[in-house]
Each structure stands twice: as structure tokens, then as C-alpha cells.
Structure 1
Amino acid sequence: MLEQYEIEEIAARCNEEIILRENEGKAQVKYIEFGSRWNNFKQVQFGTNQGFAIMELSTEFATDLNLYKLHPALLDNATGFLSLKDEGNYLPFSYKRLKFKESLPEKVYSYIRHSKNNQNRNNSLKFDITIMDDQGRGLVEIEEYTLRKVESHITSPTQQKSPVSLSQNFCLQISSPGILETLTFQSVPRQQPGRGEVEIEVSATGLNFKDVLLALGMLPVPSDVDLKFGLECAGKIVALGEGVEGFEIGDEVIALGDRCFSRFLTTSALSVASKPKHLSLEQAATIPVAFTTAYYSLIKLGRLSQGDRVLIHAAAGGVGLAAVQIAQWVGAEIFATAGNPEKRAFLHSMGVEHVFDSRSVAFADQVMQCTNGKGVDVVLNSLAGEFLTKSLDVLAPYGRFLEIGKRDILNNSQLGLGVFAKCLSFFAINIDPQVPNYSDLWHEVVQHFHNGNFSPLPHRIFRIDSLTHAFEYMARAKHIGKIVVSLENQDFLSTQVVAENGVSSQETAIATFSDSWHSVPGGLNQKPTTSVNAYQRQLLQQGLSPKEGVEVFSRIIENTLSQVLVSTYDFRIQVKLDLLDNSPNFQDATKKDNFSKPTHPRPELSSIYVAPTNDIERKLANLFQELLGIQQVGIHDSFFALGGDSLIGTVLISQLRKNFQIEVPVDSLFEAPTVSELALVIEEILIEELERLSQNVPEYVNVKIMD
């Protein structure tokens, strides 16, 4: 015999707040739309510690009732609506007792009361619930139905910091090396210049490969050392330390430093020089690193003189083009390499006659042919591996090898000494204040610009609000000359600096999936105003159907495991790939126009084209195509045979780490350069990671529902 309730009396006890009367339309409560089945409220009203609601399935879903006895949409709404009166977000956790007496019809009435045992209202809610039909018959009774409060990740407006003052300092940092999107501006105190120092308000900063490699996590840095970005800049002096001569406040200057991606930089006056008046601040920012490195290498160490032959590798880059200018000023014969036809054409336009491909070791034979077997007197090298040894081979007796690259040195690569029988000199070069006569060298370089001997490098300017794109652009090694970042957009800077407590002055509210039950303004049938990311939407769409849910539940209660994981996919790798496929990181990486569109056809290779056969291979082939600009990449095509180099390889490894959310070793690409080989490496890493995670997780049941 079903217990009888007086629906009108219950409704009368809950008349303090009526947010929806039957046939009035939408309720103005904080709720989110799970799907049209959940849009079933007809009446909602609250009393003291109690609530009453009427729910009815629309006719189009009435046939659902043939599939199960407790319709999920009716049950969810009937048990959860009273929690809307409490601040915060709550999710179902447990219940003490449930009495199921009869199946739910398409229209039900729910009466919720706060349980007597409900002392801790701050962290959880406990309800006693009765679900009735239109005759007032009790169909379902639930005792101590418990909901737990979950933390929201929506930033409160009170947490936001007021806009940063124009006199406040900041510096560039990265929270996750390898993921360029985590580059941020951190608020830091200004440093009063000491004796022999000046403070510069930075207007433009030159971007260098070292900055990019640091951001990509490709250079070894002790864990307790802060990363510092920016080696050169241009701006104006705003403060002078004791004993500084030759400068005045307001002077426009160019400088070398270790943290030039800052609003204010305090540095030694020995590293600062007056900006040539005929140059803009952005033009001046192209000078310090490139010209000082090239000048010190060619003139001071390489003793380059008129009539000498010099081989300049990567000659279309910043240091390379500076070296070309210096060699032309000296009167040397130039041999150059560059990585693509556009760069080689640019060098030809500068009057360089001998230009070769920097991605093929064939340059060595071509140099020897052009010099009738004599070779060159000086090599300015930034290439690694076999390219380095081939470059040593083309040196003439008493030749000077100027090594400005870092990869082989950091890797402790081995070098045969037989080639030094030609009495060669090998110089490892790094420009910093420890270089002998550093200040004299720097000012000598700048004086050449005052005298008109050298010109600023061709450059592309990125605004500060496009900083990440500037790093990505340099990482692809497609640029000619220099990349300069302008810090003139003060309005943008004032809203992007992260305070020392880690709170940005312009936080974006981010709703987590746990927020989807509560705290979304609008009616019961309205879509949330807080956007739900694509992964969350697809998760909702690809979940179990009611019929499948009943089947899964039946199978779960038949086993004795303490915890059960339900998956609609083959577990392990496929689950990992599906989550990555729909994660915000992977979608951003594939949707954003960070890479140049594939523009070149597949070159002639020793391997025939074979299309990708699985998800990992398809993802890798797409990355190869985007990074290298190749229209079609097969699984047996080598990254390096397609024109990739070590720098672009670091970008690829960074993208793999970000997109697959695994730690891919830096040398993986050199050991497994093809799509198929690299896919096997990634698959092994994924399996190892999932096996490691499974050691900390109870046994699971992989319920394969969908085909």
C-alpha cells in the first residue's frame, strides 16, 4: 500500500519563494541545461528548509519510461533542486536509505526537507526526499540524500588586482617551459641603480634563439635558477647611478642585458650605448647581440681581412646578416648557406654570389668546387652534427673556425682531431660581460653605426600582445633578420601583469565541469552564460544513454569490486588519445593559426608515400605538415629528409609534450625521425604512463558499450 500525501498542503508549506508557477514558463534560477530531457520543471517553490517542485517529461520523451523505472532526468531534478537555495556548488555524494515502491510516471511531484542530521551545512547538505505522482502517492522515499560542496574555480572579482601603474615594473617569465602559452608578465620591484649603473625604460626588445630555447625547455637550467628573457633592448634612461658619466636622464640608448623583457631594466653603464639618432628604437634593438657576436667573431677572433674567403652558415638570420655586412665592409669573399629558397634569394639580393642549402651537407662539395679545392679561410658556424665536421673539412690551412652554436658543446659531442693537422684554430664563442675588453668591443660596434658603416637588420616587429606568436614565429625559423617586440602598448601591459601573489590584473573566469550543476545564471531552459569548453560538451554528448546506463549499473552491482571505472572506449591508450583529442590544449594547437599552412608538395624521397594508419600517426603527420609546410607526409618520411632541422625539431618535441601531455625525450626525433618510428615511441611512453598510474588506482571494469 502506497503512502498518501496531500500535495496542496505540502505546496502551501513552501510558499515563501515561488520561482516558477505551472504554465508560467521558465524559472529564473541558477541552473544549467544538461539536455532537453532535463528541461522538465513545471513548478518550483521554497519554504523554510524545504522545497516543492513539479516535473513532467515532454511527450517526445515519454517513451523513455519503457526503458527504465527511474528516469534519470526526473530523478536528478527531483533530488537536487533544493540545493539551489544554498551558496556554492554541490554534487550528489551518498544516501542512507532508498525505498523504491513504483516506477516514475511522466509527471512527478517532489517534496524535499533538510534532514535532522544536517549540522554541517557549510560543506554538505542532507535531504529527506519524497517523490509522488499526481494522486499524492509516495513512489520513492530517500533518506539522508547527501550532496557535497565542491570548490569553484571561478575567480571572484574581489581577487582581481587593479590595473598596473605605468611606473610599476614587470619581467617576462614562463610557468611551464615547453608550453609557450604559459609566458606571463610577473610583477617585480624596480631596482635602484647602484654605482656605475643606469635604469632604462624599455621600448623595444630583440628576440633571440636563446630566449626561444629557454622557453621551449631545451636549454639546461638548474631548477633553483629563474629563467631570464631578453638579451638586448632599446629605450630611454630614467635613472642614473653614482659615477655614471656620458649619459643623462631622457637619453635614448641601446643596451645588452639579461632581463630585457622588462618594463624597467637596471644594468651596468658599460653595456649601454647612445642610440644613433637616425635609427628608430625598433631598428636599434636589432643591433646589440647580432652585430656584437658577428663583429667579435669575425674581426677580433677570426681576423677577417680583405680578400679572405668566409663561409657564413644560416646567413639569413640575425647574426648571419650582421656577418654578411661586416664581411662586405672588410672586402671578403662570402660563401653563405640558408634554409629555404626565399632566404637564399634574399642573400643573392644583398650581393652574395655563392649561396647554398644549409639543410644539405652538399654545401661542402660546392664550396670546394667554387674555390678550386682551396677551401675558405674562416667559417662562422651555427650548425651541428655532420654539418660541423663538413664545415671543418672546407677550411684552408691555418683557417679559423668560429663556433657560435651550442648544441654540440652542450651534448659533449666528439670531434676527430685529424683535421687540425691543417693548423686550424677553433673558437667557442659566447658574448657576455666576461669577454675581454667587452665595453670597448660594444662601443666600437655602435660607433660603426654612427659612422654609417653598418645598417640595422631587416626585422619584423611584434606588439607585446602578440608575444607568444613572436616566440612561435622565431621557433619555426622562417624569419629573415631579426624579430623585435615593441613594449609600447601600455594599456595592454597594465592589464596583463601578474602580481607577486599570482593573481592577474585581468583574470578570466573559468568554470570547471563540476560547476555545470550550479551557479550558471539564467532560466532552467537557458544555456549557461559561462562557456563550457568543447571537451565538456563532447563528454556530455558521448556519455551513456539511459538504456546503456541501466545495463552498466546492473553489471556493476553484480561484481564485488570496491571501485569501478566505466569507460565507453577501449581503455589505456585509446582513452588517453580521446581525452587529448578533445582537450583545450590540443584543440587550441590544431585550431590556432600558429603554423604556416602546408604550401610545398612532398619532395622526392627514397621512401614511397604511405598514409597514416592510426590516430597517433595521423596526429604526427599533421604536425610534420604544419611545421615544415609540406602538403603530404607519409609514415616512412624522415623529418630531416623533409627539411626539418634541430631548431624546428625542438618545436615539434614541445608540441608533442603539450598535445600528448607526456614527457617526450629531446633526442627522440633523432633516434626515430619518421612518423611511424616516432609513433611507436609515443605509444610506448603512453603505455608506461598508464601502467604507472594504474598502480595507484583500484581494479577497474572496462565496460565496452559503444561499438
Structure 2
Amino acid sequence: MHAAQRMIAIDPEEPGEPEVLVPVERPVPEPGPGDVLIKVAAAGVNRPDVMQRLGLYPPPPGAPTVLGLEVAGEVVAAGEGAEDMIGQPVCALVSGGGYAEYCSAPACQCLPVPVGFSMVEAAALPETFFTVWTNLFQRGQAKPGDTVLVHGGTSGIGTTAILLGKLFDLEVIVTVGSDGKCARALEIGAAHAINYKSQDFVDEVKRLTGGAGVAIVLDMIGGDYVPRNLQCLAEEGRHVSIAVQRGAKAEIPIWQVMARRLTLTGSTLRARSTEFKSAIAAELRREVWPKLGGIRPIIDSVFPLGQAAEAHRRMESSDHVGKIVLDAE
């Protein structure tokens, strides 16, 4: 059994700029029935963490106020029914609590650390892999041979979409904001990269697909991008919304939706039930984990837990390529 009663965590008292992310002492969480206590080795930093810090994305009822949606580490204690996991190295999707030395997680939302992966690499998996799997493969119904358009191609979500596209034989077209990022996206495995600042992505998608369009758009931009995204879709195409960085309202050309039989869908992950996340974890373990030897998550930078403010500044600069991770050891 672990002996620690207190731990260092990042639990801002009020919303604000990155400087509110200071280390504080908190009690070590007690794992409830079906939960495990993870001694955190590394925690992923994600865009929703920034939104929460700004006061725009409160944690769901019952979730910790400590930031952080994904961790990797060793299980050091367990609630009733999860005792067999003590001692196992895992990575986990959590609804909060990741930026800390210890974190409680539902055992069913834990996945084994893949063979040969460091704890930093493992911590970079859960949030984006759960998100891309549920949205691109389940809601978007991606299948081998499909061409997909992914905005934010060098973000954590974007690089994960490229990597999963490689594993499942998708042709991934991404948009990014610089020629340097275009080059990186192609290195990571994108089929094509469009600099949206110097090229019109609608025209480029039409050119790259010979006018046919893409099967799926994975969109984290929203706002005025939505009608433009619809122009990129092939007949029977699927538009999957996962974030709204340019606004939560969009004007939809309904006639286009009808004429080309388009599907508009989307989802958020954090507020979904443990049962739903457990089913996704089981599917990832079955479909994706055996293939992970062929890819590695793209790690942009690693900061000590106490420098969470710097990690958030890095994310808000949008200069990063791939995942930003906190080292809690």
C-alpha cells in the first residue's frame, strides 16, 4: 500500500492566465470501488485544460478541480474489485486530477503502457486516442482507403489522426498554419498538408481529390469553417465536430446537405459516462494497442509538473507540434 497522505498538485483557486498554475499541497485521493490510485509519472496537457484554466470549461460534477485529463504511471492502490491491477504500469483517461503526483482513475479507463513506450509517451496517448477513435472511426465511420481532412494537423489531435490514419490505411489531408508545419505533418505521415494562411483549403482539397472530395472532415475549428468544410465533402460525406475554436455557431447550407446526403455529427468526451469510456478503452485495447509497435506519439516538449504554467504558454503559442507532457517524477 502507498503511504503518502499529501501530494503536490496543480489546482488553481481562480481562473486566469497561466501564472495561476502553481503547485499546491492536496490530500492524496482515495480510490473508490472499481477505481485505482496511480502514482503519476507523466500527465498529458490538452486544449481543454487551457479552457478549464480560463474558466470556460468547468469539470463535470464529481470530477476533481485539479487539471489534467490523462496520466501514465504505476497503480499503487485500488478500490474494491480492482485490486488485481496493483503494481501494473498503466495510462488512463480521467475526468480531472492528472496534474498531480497521484491520480484516481476508473480501472476500466486504464490501458497497459505499450511495450517499449516511455511513461511520457504513454501519457500522450489516452485523451487524443480516445477522441480520435470515437470521432473519426466510430462517428465518422472511417474505413481503409478513405480520404479524410483534419484541421489543426500538427496539434495533439491532428498528429494522432495522422498516426491512426497510417495504422488503418487512411489518406489524411491536414491544414496547418505554416510551411514548416506542413513539412512536419508530411514527415509524420500525412498524405498532404495545406498551409491555410497561403492556400484556400477548399480549392486545395478539390484539387488533391480530383474534385471528388473527402469522406470525412474532422473539425476542431467550427464557426465559418463549417460551410467551407461541407464544400470539401464527397457525396455521403461525414462532418465530425470536436471543438469550436472559431465559434459555436455556423451557417449551414441545408440544400447541400440534402443534395449530397451529408451527415453532420460530433461529440465531446469528458462528460460521457464511465461505461461509454470503458467501452472505448476496450475497443482501443483490442483494435489499436496491438498495432502500436509501428508508431510513436509525437512529443513536442516535456515540462516538470511545477512548470505547468510554461506548458500552457507553449500550448497557447500554437507553435507546438504534437503533445505537450508534464513530468511528475
**Fold similarity call, TM over 0.5:** yes
Indicate the structure with greater strand content: 2
Question: 1:461 is paired with a residue of what secondary structure?
Answer: strand
Preserved CA contact (<8 Å) 1:305 1:332:
yes
Listed as ranges, the matches of 1:29-178 within 5 Å are 167-178=5-16
The answer on whether the counterparts of 1:458 and 1:481 sit within 8 Å (CA) in structure 2 is: yes
SS in 1 for 2:326: strand
Residues 454, 473 of structure 1: CA spacing in aligned structure 2 closer, same or farther, 3 A cutoff?
Answer: same
Gaps of 5+ in 2: none
Partner of residue 48 from structure 2, selected from 187, 196, 210: 210
* Residues 444 and 186 of structure 1, relative CA distance in 2, 3 Å threshold: same
> Is the 8 Å Cα contact of residues 202 and 229 (structure 2) preserved in structure 1?
yes
Residues 420, 381 of structure 1: CA spacing in aligned structure 2 closer, same or farther, 3 A cutoff? Answer: same
Shift of 1:406: 3.2
Q: What corresponds to 1:476 in structure 2?
A: 317
Please tell me the residue identity of whatever aligns with 2:312: F
With over 3 angstroms needed to count, the CA separation of the structure-2 counterparts of 1:184 and 1:479, relative to structure 1, is: same
Which secondary structure does the structure 2 equivalent of 1:295 belong to? Answer: helix
Which residue matches 1:238?
76
Task: State the TM-score, normalized to the length of structure 1.
Answer: 0.43
After superposition, residues 475-514 of structure 1 pair within 5 angstroms as: 475-488=316-329
Question: Does the residue aligned with 1:214 lie in a helix, a strand or coil?
Answer: helix
Superposed, 1:518-667 pairs within 5 Å as none
TM-aligned CA deviation for residue 357 of structure 1 = 1.6
Q: Name 2:281's counterpart in structure 1.
A: 442
Q: Distance in 1 between the 2:57 and 2:279 partners? A: 30
Q: In the alignment, residue 232 of structure 2 is paired with which amino acid?
A: V
Letter paired with 1:276: P
1:327 corresponds to which residue? 165
Q: Is the 8 A contact 2:214 2:234 kept in 1?
A: yes
Aligned residue type for 1:440: A
- Classify 1:466/1:241 alpha carbon distance in 2 versus 1 (closer, same or farther; 3 Å): same
Q: CA deviation at 1:226?
A: 7.4
Please list the CA deviations of residues 451-507 of structure 1 after superposition, one character each: whole Å capped at 9, or x if unmatched. 43553312111112322111100111111110000011xxxxxxxxxxxxxxxxxxx
SS in structure 2 of the partner of residue 336 of structure 1: strand
- Alpha-carbon spacing, 1:479–1:232, altered in 2? closer, same or farther (3 Å): same
Does the 8 Å contact 1:205/1:484 carry over to 2?
A: yes
Partners of 2:65 and 2:177 in 1: CA distance: 29
**Aligned 1:368-517 pairs, distance under 5 A:** 368-407=206-245, 411-421=248-258, 422-432=260-270, 433-434=272-273, 437-447=276-286, 448-452=288-292, 455-459=295-299, 460-488=301-329
8 A contact 1:313–1:358 mirrored in 2: no
CA drift at 1:187: 2.6
**For residue 255 of structure 1, what is the aligned residue in structure 2?**
92
Output the amino acid matched with 2:235: P
Distance 1:381 1:174, change over 3 A: same
- In 2, Cα distance between equivalents of 1:271 and 1:435: 8
Q: Which whole-Å deviations, capped at 9, do the CAs of 1:648-673 have from their partners, x for residues lacking one? A: xxxxxxxxxxxxxxxxxxxxxxxxxx
SS in 2 for 1:305: coil
Counterpart-to-counterpart distance in 2, 1:292 and 1:450: 16
Contact kept in structure 1, 2:226 and 2:252, CA below 8 Å: no
Which residues in structure 2 correspond to 1:654-693 (within 5 Å)?
Answer: none
SS in 2 for 1:174: coil
In structure 1, the partner of 2:204 is: 366
Contact persistence 2:42–2:327 (CA under 8 A):
yes
For structure 1, the residue ranges without an aligned partner over 5 or more in a row are 1-164, 489-707
Which residue identity lines up with residue 420 of structure 1 in the other structure?
Answer: V
2:310 and 2:40 map into 1 onto residues whose CA distance is: 20
Contact kept? 2:12, 2:66, Cα under 8 Å: no
State how far apart, in whole Å, the 2-side matches of 1:452 and 1:267 are: 23
Secondary structure of 2:325's match?
Answer: strand
- Alignment deviations for residues 309-334 of structure 1 (CA, whole Å, 9 cap, x no partner): 11111111111111112222222222
**Offset of 1:443 from its aligned partner?**
3.2
Aligned partners of 1:218, 1:438: CA distance in 2, in Å? 23
Alignment partner of 1:274 is 2:112: yes
1:297 counterpart residue number: 135
For 1:347 and 1:412, locate their aligned partners in 2 and report how far apart those are by CA, in whole Å. Answer: 29
Deviation readout 1:607-638 (Å, 9 max, x if unpaired): xxxxxxxxxxxxxxxxxxxxxxxxxxxxxxxx
* Rounded Cα–Cα distance in structure 1 between residues aligned with 2:274 and 2:166: 25
Q: Indicate the SS of the match to 2:68.
A: coil
Cα 1:358–1:220, aligned 2, differ >3 Å: closer, same or farther? farther
Cα contact 1:174–1:182 (8 A) shared by 2: yes
1:342/1:427 Cα in 2 relative to 1: closer, same or farther (>3 Å)?
A: same
List per-residue Cα deviations over 1:504-558 (Å, max 9, x = no partner): xxxxxxxxxxxxxxxxxxxxxxxxxxxxxxxxxxxxxxxxxxxxxxxxxxxxxxx
Instruction: Give, in whole Å, the separation in 2 of the partners of 1:242 and 1:441.
Output: 22
Pair 453,292 (structure 1): closer, same or farther in 2 beyond 3 Å: farther
Measured on the aligned residues, the alpha-carbon RMSD in Å equals 2.5
Which of 184, 187, 191 in structure 1 is aligned with 2:25?
A: 187
Q: TM-score, normalised by structure 2?
A: 0.88
Q: What amino acid sits opposite 1:204 in the alignment? A: A
Aligned AA (1:419): Q
Cα 1:278–1:453 shift into 2, 3 Å: closer
Amino acid of the structure 1 residue aligned with 2:311: A
Is the 2:91–2:113 Cα contact (8 Å) retained in structure 1?
yes
Cα separation, partners in 2 of 1:462 and 1:446, compared to 1, 3 Å: farther
CA distance in 2, matches of 1:221, 1:306: 36
Mark the CA change 1:331 to 1:298 in structure 2 (over 3 Å): closer, same or farther: same
